[in-house]
Amino acid sequence: MKKSSLIARLVGVAMVFFLPLSAHADVGAFDVDRWYEILGDIRTRAIAQNISKDTIDATLKYPAFIPAIVKSDRNQAEFKLTLDGYLARTVNQRRIEQGRKMAKTYPTMLSRVENKYGVQPHVILAFWGLESNYGEYRAAHKLTDAFLTLIYEGRRETFFGNQLLALMKIADDNGLDINDIHGSWAGAMGHFQFIPTTLQQYGADGNGDGKIDIIHSVGDAMFSAGNYLHKLGWNPNEKIVRKVILPGNFDISLLDGKTKKSLTEWAYMGVMNPDGTTIPTADMVAGLVADVNQIQEQRAAAIAAAAANVATGVVDPNAIDTDVAPQPVIYAYLTYPNFYRIKKWNSSNWYAIAVATLADELR
C-alpha cells in the first residue's frame, strides 16, 4: 500500500473514532508516522521469519486502528467478586446442563482426547465451559487489527508484536485466511481462548485434516486443550481441590495457596471435611485457598455481635476478645498439584476452583 493512501485512510479513521491515546503520540493527534513504522517493522520481521508474501500482504493491506481496544486495555476493571459470587456466576445450572449436553454430543472426540493426552472428558468440558461457554462466545475483533492497535498503544508492544507474528505464522502454516481470524480485544481466540503463541506451541490437529483451526474445529480445539494440559503435567489420578472446613481461629495468612504442607500436617492443624470427619492423610502435599476478605468480614461481624451482646448485658465483656468471640465456620479448599497446573493456564485462584467445581459437576 502506498504511504499516501494509508495516511488518507488513517486520517479518516482518526477523524471519526479518535480518542487521546498514547505517550507515543501528541495528545489529540494520531501519530501516523509511528503507525507506518510499526507496519514496516512487522513486514520486516515477518519476511525474516519466512512468512509468505500473501499472508504479509493480507495482514497489512487494510490495517485498522481501533480506539475502543485501547480504551479496554487501559480501563480493565478490577472488580472483586467474592469466591461464592464468582462460582455462582461461572458454575451455574445452565452451564452445567449445557456441559452435560456437550458430553453427549462429542463422546468420541472427548474419548480420543483422553486416550491420547490423559485428560478426562469432564475436565476438558469444564475448561470449554469457562472459556467460551462451549463455543457460544463469538469474538468480534479481527485479531490483526487488535494486535496492531495494541502495539501502537505501547504498553506491551513487544508482547503483542510477538502475538501478531505468531498469528501470521499460524495462518501461513495452516492455510487460514488471517483476516477471518477473530478473537477478544486482548487476542484470545477459539473455543478455549488461546493466544497465538500458546496455540503455536500446543496446537494439535484433532479432526485429521492436516490443519489446526481452533476457531472452526471443535476437534482441533479439544486436542489443543488436551495437549496443553498434558504438557503442563496433568495427572488424571489426582483431584484438583477438596472443600474443607477450618477452625474458627485459623491463621488466614496460610490461605493464599502458596504455603504447602502435607495432608497430615493440615489435619493436625484442624483441617477437616465439611461433615467434620478427618481429611485423607495420604503422603501428598497441598495448599489451602479461601476467600480471606470474606473471612475477615465474618470475623468482624462476629466480634461486633459479641460487643452488642455485652452492651445489652447478655454476655461477659471478655467475649469480645478476638480469641474467645464466637467464630464463624471457615470454608476453604485444599489445592492439589493439578490446581497449580490450571494456574499456569490462568493464574487466578478463583478460576482454578471454578474449573474444579464445574468438572466435578460434569464427572
Instruction: Tell me the CATH number at 53.
Output: 1.10.8.350
> Do residues 185 and 253 share a domain?
no
Number of domains in the chain: 2
Cα 200 from Cα 84, distance rounded (Å) = 35
Tell me if residue 17 falls in helix, strand or coil: helix
Mean pLDDT to the nearest integer, 291-298: 87
Mean of pLDDT over the chain:
88
With a cut of 80, say whether residue 335 has pLDDT above it.
yes
Query: Looking at 173, 190, 207, which one is the last position of a domain?
Result: 190
- pLDDT top residue among 323 and 277: 277
- Give the pLDDT of residue 155: 86
> Do residues 66 and 156 share a domain?
yes
Q: Is 122 part of a structural domain of the chain?
A: no
> Do residues 167 and 258 share a domain?
no
Rounded to the nearest angstrom, the gap between the alpha carbon of residue 306 and the centroid of all alpha carbons in its chain is: 41
DSSP string, 182-209: EE-TTS-BTTTTB-HHHHHHH---SSSS
> Do residues 266 and 165 share a domain?
no
Mean pLDDT to the nearest integer, 287-301: 87
Mean pLDDT to the nearest integer, 243-263: 94
Phi, psi of 154 (to 5 degrees): 95, -10
> Do residues 305 and 158 share a domain?
no
166-to-126, 216, 224, 324, 346 alpha-carbon distances in Å: 27, 19, 16, 59, 20
Query: Looking at 168, 190, 212, which one is the last position of a domain?
Result: 190
> How many CB atoms lie under 10 A from the CB of residue 57?
11
Render pLDDT for 87-139 as a digit per residue (tens, 0 to 9).
999 999 999 999 999 999 999 999 999 999 999 999 999 999 999 999 998 78
- Give the pLDDT of residue 61: 92
Q: Is 316 part of a structural domain of the chain?
A: yes
Q: Is 215 part of a structural domain of the chain?
A: no
> Do residues 11 and 150 share a domain?
yes
Render pLDDT for 73-90 as a digit per residue (tens, 0 to 9).
887 655 678 999 999 999
> Do residues 184 and 249 share a domain?
no
Cα 265 from Cα 281, distance rounded (Å) = 9
- Give the pLDDT of residue 137: 86
What is this structure's pTM? 0.86
Q: 275: domain range?
A: 241-335
> Do residues 168 and 56 share a domain?
yes
> Do residues 329 and 252 share a domain?
yes
Question: Among 81-85, 93-97, 242-246, 298-302, which stretch is predicted with the lowest mean pLDDT?
Answer: 298-302
> Do residues 174 and 253 share a domain?
no
> Do residues 164 and 70 share a domain?
yes
High-pLDDT (> 90) share of the chain, %: 74
> Do residues 53 and 170 share a domain?
yes
